[in-house]
Structure 1
């Protein structure tokens, strides 16, 4: 692997954006926070401060919720038809595509991801989500119901927007995970308060400038930057919020679920993962090995669906592990703004230390380091892509979500699909999995046996706006994307008239 950590110069428009005083966005206005406190935004590739955002507090949240409530109930947004909302969402999607280079640059320096990936994955997928959901805006409807009771009735259902939504997103994919929530809630007519991670607020702030530019009415989308406590907690506990849509850790998800009981607000949670990748002896290794390497090393393993547990048939185990190690050596570690970078830093010093702590635990429990395992340089938060072999299901590195570029490999020698599936399912998580085989019958049988919200065959980390996304077990509640997202942001009303 090659290393190039030198930070390139950002473009003039990004430089100007970074130097702004980033305020809160409430009711169509950029306003100072009540506390006056600012939060340093760090470039994870250099460890240096690149910008500042406002530390919102409960009083700011109150203002944002009031604005969102007014826009939902009495503002022009409440009077728009679905087709009108859809046209506005489409306009936003087109503008994101036009500004892809600028948004990718901001996302790369804020999150530490390669700028090319940021452009085509983060911005590209986000724009597609808005395009897709724009089409749903004019198609939200109920159905006519034939009643069981005798008599003459006119009975039907309606789908109505759930109301004011708090959309709370993590630091790994700010633009994409905002789109997962915001696109469908806008399509059905809800309003929102966005709360990005304090580590990566910049692309969300720039996104809302674009949203304002294309003509969304005041109060429809508001942004509160700041820490989880007090800003995030105030949002979750607020009686004026009808629903929380959250992506993040299981721990925080539990706290949100508990806090939501105050007014029994609706909750969607997309939480952690420990995704298995099952490789059968007949797999096309020329296709599988690069795919398996990408599944764990893409965005430094900081992906909720990252393929972290590798189960390979013993007949090909060594060949597959050696092949993934060879793929990892091709990675070019460096600052995300370097065009040849294919692997950036971890998000923070704390995250780097957390991942290194897991590696120490793994070694102490008997795992063998095939490649990697160390920090790269003393600038920024880089670490080597790492493969651990001879892992066991009882090890902490196999059981807990590491959220770093660490692959845990083990061989299996059983041909019983139920036994193999039991190993894959031996986890508190159930977000995603992948199956690698040329036998289409085996592939679909295994997909049926795996307890996960997404199962990919001969691929990993495949996302599409039309596919529902979410987890089984402690990977969360509910689904985002596809028609399921429309359901999760609406309430069903039954109406019956006696004729």
Structure 2
């Protein structure tokens, strides 16, 4: 595909499909083979830019999940167990090379699937994903144990060994499947676990293609399996399966609660990254030249479909009107349009269902007394067939309004005034969520007071949305638990066992 052409229509560009879509009827990948659902049922997946059917997926149900889990268990207890840390690392490194080689194709698949602006992903997405893969490749050789001293009588040596937990189930969200899957694939491959992945029904294609590349990299069949289907069917079956040892889920807090209940059957370990309503706090001494675009894209990136989006924008009184005016002006410069065009900043929402949901929140905000400063309408004209929404900004919002309390998952921002540092902390923490936060200030005392006082898994200062795989990311309160990235994520895919060796009898 020629990335420099800007004049091609959406329909013309949509004909430039990856080879992977030559056959749009997709199957599950189980034990290294493409297999249909046992029921032979299928579901459609749509291009959110056009509303047209993009492909059909096999509709996985309980029996398909069970088949994949059995295969993953056999692979875990079979040849994959014989791979040394060096051998696992080599597989991950070959996968990284293939992923980089096919990055344009994978990114196009993701863009067609969920509407992310293609050129933004091509410019900025590759390095972050590749770094994440390479980080976990390094961790494959970094799994240790311990030889603790003991106080036992006789010649007894004690060891603590870290071992892979077994079969990992993963339910991947639709709002960034390429990146999200790496925080499952990375620790699975590094530790020697196996996996059954259930992609979101709205965005499965890039994950299916990634699994194909893993086989090409030399991963034994059955180590990573992908079952497509609906969350209430295939996803629920995976969460409840008695032979899944760990489950990783990214999605809504409501579904997270159901997964916690389903996990009780076999006490499976959980990694949950759930909803957010993140505060982004702008103090009067902030550099507005940096804060305005930083705050704006903290909300509007990926059309607001990011769990840590900074949608509650707290602005200190004294600069509130100036900041609101600048933010409104900036939001109106962001091009909403065809995700395959180079100058597009915001693409469509994922589905008609999601668009209707977000528009419902826009109406609720107005009904409750918030002032609609910018946006708020579905895009028409050439974009009328897709699920496009203008970047939307509310003023005169209180922290008690629905638009300030509930996760909208769309390009909708609310500006809320505050006075003192103490008031900013109180308002920021007045939420059931605790995923992320932002602070904009040039005063180091203010910054450190906020860093220590905000109840969230991440605090960004004079920036927003930066993530490094060695540092990681996670939630607090109803935003979930478990950590993605860093040593603690690796620890979550391992369990400890103690060995007591009586040297007198050996």
TM over 0.5: yes
CA gap of 1:91–1:85, structure 2 versus 1, over 3 A, is same
Shift of 1:229: 2.3
Partner residue in 2 for 1:196: 199
> Is the 1:184–1:486 Cα contact (8 Å) retained in structure 2?
yes
1:126 matched residue in structure 2: 129
Structure 2, unaligned runs of 5 or more: 1-7
Is 1:443 matched up with 2:442? no
In 2, Cα distance between equivalents of 1:290 and 1:405: 14
Alignment equivalent of 1:368, drawn from 361, 368, 371: 371
- How far 1:153 moved relative to its partner? 3.5
Compute the displacement of 1:97 (Å).
1.0
Tell me, what secondary structure is at the counterpart of 1:332?
A: coil
The answer as to whether partners of 1:373 and 1:383 remain within 8 angstroms in 2 is: yes
SS at match of 2:53: strand
Residue 54 (structure 1) aligns with:
58
User: C-alpha offsets along residues 326-382 of structure 1, whole Å, 9 cap, x if unaligned?
Assistant: 221221111111111111001000101101111111111111111111111131110
TM, length-normalised to structure 1: 0.96
Match of 1:63 among 55, 64, 67: 67
Asked if the contact 2:311/2:414 (under 8 Å) is kept, the reply is yes
Aligned to 1:335: 338
CA distance in 1 between counterparts of 2:11 and 2:314 reads 38
Q: In 2, are the aligned partners of 1:300 and 1:404 still within 8 Å (CA)? A: yes
For residue 156 of structure 1, report the CA deviation from its aligned partner: 2.3
Post-superposition CA distance 1:290-332 (Å, at most 9, x none): 1011100100000001010001111111121212112212211
Cα distance in 1 for partners of 2:196, 2:123 equals 26
Give 1:419 shift. 2.9
Q: After TM superposition, which residue ranges in structure 1, 4 or more long, deviate above 6 angstroms?
A: none
In 2: Cα distance, 1:352 partner to 1:419 partner: 34
Partner of 1:161: 164
The aligned length equals 494
Tell me the alpha carbon deviations over residues 113-166 of structure 1, each in whole angstroms, 9 at most, x when there is no partner: 100222244444222211110000011111221335676542221111111000
Deviates more, 1:157-166 or 1:122-131: 122-131
2:4 aligns with none
Equivalent residue number for residue 43 of structure 2: 39
1:396 to 389, 397, 402: 402
Question: C-alpha root-mean-square deviation of aligned residues, in Å?
Answer: 1.7
The yes-or-no answer on 1:459 pairing with 2:463 is yes
- Compared CA separation, residues 214 and 435, structure 1 to 2 (3 A): same
Q: Is the 8 A contact 1:389 1:408 kept in 2?
A: yes
| Residue matched to 2:117 | 114
For residues 371 and 152 of structure 2, the distance between their equivalents in structure 1, rounded to whole angstroms, comes to 67
2:388 aligned residue: 382
Task: Determine which of 302, 317, 321 is the counterpart of 2:320.
Answer: 317
String of CA shifts for 1:408-446, please: whole Å, max 9, x gaps. 1011122xx333211101001000001111122321221
Shifted more, 488-497 versus 25-34: the winner is 488-497
Q: In structure 1, the residue corresponding to 2:138 is in which secondary structure?
A: helix
Native 8 Å contact 2:239 2:247 kept in 1: yes
State the shift of 1:13 in Å.
Answer: 5.2
Asked whether 1:25 is paired with 2:29, we answer yes
